[in-house]
Amino acid sequence: MNDKTPSVDRHMLEALVCPLTQARLSYDADAQELISEAAGLAFPIRDGIPIMLVDEARKLAD
Q: Is residue 32 within 8 Å of residue 25, measured between CB atoms?
A: no
Q: Is residue 25 within 8 Å of residue 52, measured between CB atoms?
A: no
Q: Residue 60 has what pLDDT? A: 97
Domain residue ranges of the chain, discontinuous segments joined by +: 10-59
Q: How far apart are CA 15 and CA 20, in angstroms?
A: 15
With the CA atoms of 52, 44, 18 and 11 taken in that order, what torsion angle do they form, in degrees rounded to the nearest 10? -90
5 — pLDDT class (breaks 50, 70, 90): low
Who has greater pLDDT, 4 or 57?
Answer: 57
The CATH classification number of 10-59 equals: 2.20.25.10
Condensed to tens digits (0 to 9), the pLDDT of residues 18-59 reads 999 999 999 999 999 999 999 999 999 999 899 999 999 999
Q: What pTM did the predictor assign?
A: 0.85
Q: Residue 13 has what pLDDT? A: 83
Q: How far apart are CA 61 and CA 47, in angstroms?
A: 25
